[in-house]
Amino acid sequence: MSEDRAPVYVLGVNTGPHDGSAALLRDGELVAMVEQERLSRNRYARGEAPRDAIDACLVQAGIGWAELNRVAVGWDVPRLCEIEGVPYDEKEFREWLG
């Protein structure tokens, strides 16, 4: 990595109906990955936003939300909402994530 540019951070999030998790890359290299159930102690973390997993990844890297360049979600959330018969609201989804 060149010293004259900031690192690129990509947060990957699995937000499905169970097994939520997060992973963080810095310049394409894995920095941290955490399953939500390991932190909440709730097997499969059913219905939980992976907030604790996200926070753990950010803490491991020593950064905050503002330093993230991209967030990749491992589900087609609007389609999942459609299947479940609930309206999708992007603002509400972002708040749910943390």
* pLDDT at residue 1, as a whole number: 53
Quote the pTM value. Answer: 0.81
Residue-averaged pLDDT of the chain:
91
Assess whether 18 carries a catalytic annotation.
yes
Selecting among 7, 10, 12, 18, the annotated active-site residue is: 18
Please tell me the distance from the alpha carbon of residue 98 to that of residue 65, in angstroms, as a whole number: 10
If you average pLDDT over residues 63-82, what whole number do you get?
92
Res 2 pLDDT > 70: no
If you average pLDDT over residues 15-35, what whole number do you get?
92
* pLDDT tier at 68, thresholds 50, 70, 90: very high
If you average pLDDT over residues 13-17, what whole number do you get?
83
Please tell me the distance from the alpha carbon of residue 13 to that of residue 22, in angstroms, as a whole number: 5
